[in-house]
Amino acid sequence: MATLEKKALQGGEWLIRDTDCQDIFIAENWNEEQLMIAQTSREFVEKEIHPLLDRIDSMEEGLVPSLMDRAGELGLLAISTPEQYGGMGASFNTGLLTSEAVGGAHSFSVAISAHTGIGTLPIQYYGNEAQRSKYLPKLATGEWKAAYALTEPSAGSDANSGKTKAVLNAAGTHYVINGQKMWITNSGFANVFVVFAKIDDDANLSAFIVEGDSEGITLNAEEKKMGIKGSSTRQVFFNNVQVPVENLLSERGNGFKIAVNILNIGRIKLGAAALGACKQIITKSVKYANEREQFGRPIAKYGAIRHKLAQQAIWTYTCEAATYRAGQDIEDCIESLIAGGLDPEEAKVKGVASYAIECAILKVYGSEAVDFVIDEGVQIYGGMGYSAEAPMERGYRDARINRIFEGTNEINRMLTVDMMLKKAMKGELDLMGPGQKVMGELMSIPDFGDEDNALFAAEKKYIKNFKKAALLVAGAAVQKLMMTLSKEQEILMNIADVLIGLYVAESTLLRVEKLVSQRGEAACQTQIDMAQVYIHDVADSIWKNGKDALESFAEGDELRMMMMGLKRFTKTAPYNSKEARRRIAAVIIDQNKYPWV
């Protein structure tokens, strides 16, 4: 128990506290069972999904449901379901690893993720015993498929403004639901919908378990989309649909809270799925680069291509570091809550909610990582990258949705800052003390002490300074703008990008530091290169975002003083990133695949 308490920093607390590398989980430390689950998932995708991608995208009748059945037979739908309901009851991080392993399955990854995540988890986390016993075993095997009906034509990011209504009938036995939902994944074959509606004139949504064969449910035709064409996406209409009162999920008016907490899980799972797609894309990219010859030699020999391969790998490795750091923090928090006597499912809800900031960060970073990686993959393929005959074209279209669903990246950026500040206002996170200390440091003489030449000493100092930069910019914005800050979305997004870069940089450094402690420095040179390149790049990003934010609201001597501080906190020593990227690319090219975990 003491170990759990030591490890479990509160969500967002990394901004003001240091973390010991031994207190985080790194992907190099998966156990044998976890690796076996991941391998089973990858083999399923490679052997049973990839050969059928064209047929899946053509929406062949019954194909995706039959593949879901097969996934159920292999146990892939039951990873996170409790054992008493026919599941595996695996850890939170194991669930993320499974999301990663199926992340390269294109449209099918959307179907399976929606089923196991937002479709099943509301019942698992918020259902009563009767509801769990009735639905979870069938969802775990795939006998029943699940969908999540939240979005409406006039209610997207503002989910609580939905107009779907539920009215209790005169006999008090059923709620009668009327309304319209749109962009509902798996709707074409779902047996179970988790539907959000307002009872009477309630201010907040309630949630209901609605069976797909209920009278009064009708579906529009499948939406024609830019990508994920094989994912069933329809509008769903509810016309006097009678839902038994016992199918109210949780309590009346608790639907918005359910939606928010389930979306937190969906966000970090999306980051993990994007990670799996990144690894697959890099492997295809390097194989093509090694085979494609121009001017008498493989294009992998050229510096421009090597730069792209290295950057693809850096985005991917850093995403992995942050994803599983956060996943294990969530798991540790859950275990601590259970040890304190909380119901396991309630503990899972609270554990994830505690790290909503990190979930939002990873949704943004993962979705933008896969967009970057696939864009460079298209470029490496050249003309063939634009051809539907080659694999990059489908990946390019399919990746684009990730920056939109589970809350747009703009919404998630603003949520990252909003949640951090709300934690501070509630006294859950002491930002004021460290922030005032940073402001006081602006008036002091910089420390020009002796340089520490120990491994990672410089990088640790950079991370400490990046935290000061974040506190400087965010603190100044709050102090200057106060209640109007929420309307300054450009500034909020600047601050969010500072926080995202900082969290990912620290996670990557901690991952590599822990790996070096286990394998030795000589065995980790490429990982060290990736951490150092990313940290130097992030220094520039924090400077630019901090500068843009400060110049938006400060002026005169105040601005000059803060800009001097920001420059001090983002300063790094000269570093030859070109040579580091060449070393990273050489490893990928030599192994002809993405070689790390």
Find the CATH number of the domain harbouring 193: 2.40.110.10
The pair of structure tokens assigned to 92 is: 């939170």
Answer yes or no: are the C-beta atoms of 371 and 403 closer than 8 Å: yes
Closest CA to 280 of 42, 541, 591: 42
Q: Give pLDDT, residue 1.
A: 36
Closest CA to 249 of 186, 200, 205, 214: 205
Answer yes or no: are the C-beta atoms of 169 and 176 closer than 8 Å: yes
Q: Give pLDDT, residue 414.
A: 97
19: in domain: no
Q: Give pLDDT, residue 8.
A: 55
Shared domain for 531 and 500, answered yes or no, is yes
- Beta strands 174-185 and 217-219 are unpaired
286: in domain: yes
The enclosing H or E element of 238 equals strand 233-244
Shared domain for 549 and 446, answered yes or no, is yes
109: in domain: yes
Q: Could you say which of 222, 249, 276 is where a domain stops?
A: 249
Q: Give pLDDT, residue 2.
A: 38
Residues 6+ apart with CB under 8 A from 453: none
- Beta strands 248-249 and 146-149 are unpaired
297 three-state secondary structure: strand
- Beta strands 297-298 and 293-294 are antiparallel
Burial class (CB in 10 A: 0-12, 13-18, 19+), 529: buried
Closest CA to 512 of 96, 21, 9, 7: 21
As a whole number of angstroms, the distance between CA 411 and CA 124 comes to 27
Q: Give pLDDT, residue 453.
A: 74
Q: Give pLDDT, residue 451.
A: 66
Burial code (b: 16+ CB inside 10 Å, e: under 16) for 195-230 equals bbbbbeeeeebbbbbbbbebeebeeeebeebebbbb
371 three-state secondary structure: helix
Q: What is the length of the chain?
A: 597
Q: Give pLDDT, residue 157.
A: 75
Which pLDDT tens digits describe the chain residue by residue (597 residues)? 334 444 557 899 999 999 999 999 999 999 999 999 999 999 999 999 999 999 999 999 999 999 999 999 999 999 999 999 999 999 999 999 999 999 999 999 999 999 999 999 999 999 999 999 999 999 999 999 999 999 999 877 777 888 999 999 999 999 999 999 999 999 999 999 999 999 999 999 999 999 999 999 999 999 999 999 999 999 999 999 999 999 999 999 999 999 999 999 999 999 999 999 999 999 999 999 999 999 999 999 999 999 999 999 999 999 999 999 999 999 999 999 999 999 999 999 999 999 999 999 999 999 999 999 999 999 999 999 999 999 999 999 999 999 998 999 999 999 999 999 999 999 999 998 998 899 888 877 666 655 677 899 999 999 999 999 999 999 999 999 988 999 999 999 999 999 999 999 999 999 999 999 999 999 999 999 999 999 999 999 999 999 999 999 999 999 999 999 999 999 999 999 999 999 999 999 999 999 998
As a whole number of angstroms, the distance between CA 105 and CA 375 comes to 18
Answer yes or no: are the C-beta atoms of 150 and 181 closer than 8 Å: yes
Give me the CATH number covering residue 69: 1.10.540.10
Q: Could you say which of 220, 249, 278 is where a domain stops?
A: 249
Shared domain for 243 and 280, answered yes or no, is no
Burial class (CB in 10 A: 0-12, 13-18, 19+), 260: middle
Shared domain for 354 and 236, answered yes or no, is no
Give me the CATH number covering residue 318: 1.20.140.10
Shared domain for 445 and 318, answered yes or no, is no
As a whole number of angstroms, the distance between CA 259 and CA 262 comes to 5
DSSP 158: S
- Give the distance from CA 276 to its chain's centroid: 12
DSSP string, 430-485: --HHHHHHHHHHTTSPP--PPPP-STTHHHHHHHHHHHHHHHHHHHHHHHHHGGGG
The pair of structure tokens assigned to 32 is: 């044998």
DSSP string, 516-528: HHHH-GGGGHHHH
Q: Give pLDDT, residue 111.
A: 97
Shared domain for 400 and 533, answered yes or no, is no
502: in domain: yes
Answer yes or no: are the C-beta atoms of 328 and 93 closer than 8 Å: yes
Q: Where are the alpha helices (DSSP H) in 50-91?
A: 53-57, 63-73
335: in domain: yes
Answer yes or no: are the C-beta atoms of 413 and 364 closer than 8 Å: yes
Q: State the angle between helix axes of 457-481 and 409-425 in degrees (0 to 180), rounded to the nearest 10.
A: 80
As a whole number of angstroms, the distance between CA 238 and CA 245 comes to 16
Shared domain for 406 and 259, answered yes or no, is yes
Shared domain for 278 and 165, answered yes or no, is no
Residues 6+ apart with CB under 8 A from 353: 261, 264
60 three-state secondary structure: coil
Catalytic residue among 406, 459, 506, 513: 406
Only one residue has tokens 């939109």, namely 404
Shared domain for 115 and 185, answered yes or no, is no
Shared domain for 548 and 581, answered yes or no, is yes
The residues that bridge with 210 in the sheet, in sequence order, are 193
Shared domain for 556 and 496, answered yes or no, is yes
CA dihedral over 343, 259, 184, 129, signed as positive or negative:
positive
What is the rounded (10 degree) CA torsion for 470, 473, 477, 480? 140
Helices (H) then strands (E): counts for the chain: 20, 10
Q: Give pLDDT, residue 160.
A: 80
As a whole number of angstroms, the distance between CA 471 and CA 490 comes to 17
Residues 6+ apart with CB under 8 A from 520: none
Instruction: Give residue 19's identity as a one-letter amino acid code.
Output: T
500: in domain: yes
447: in domain: yes
Give the pTM.
0.95
Q: Could you say which of 411, 428, 459 is where a domain stops?
A: 411
The enclosing H or E element of 567 equals helix 556-569
Residue 406 is a catalytic residue: yes
As a whole number of angstroms, the distance between CA 137 and CA 141 comes to 7
Answer yes or no: are the C-beta atoms of 11 and 355 closer than 8 Å: yes
As a whole number of angstroms, the distance between CA 26 and CA 45 comes to 24
320: in domain: yes
Only one residue has tokens 């580091």, namely 580
Q: Which domain holds residue 341?
A: 255-411
Q: Phi/psi of residue 185, each to 5°?
A: -70, 140
As a whole number of angstroms, the distance between CA 558 and CA 516 comes to 43
Shared domain for 405 and 507, answered yes or no, is no
Number of domains in the chain: 4
Q: Phi/psi of residue 103, each to 5°?
A: -65, -20
355 three-state secondary structure: coil
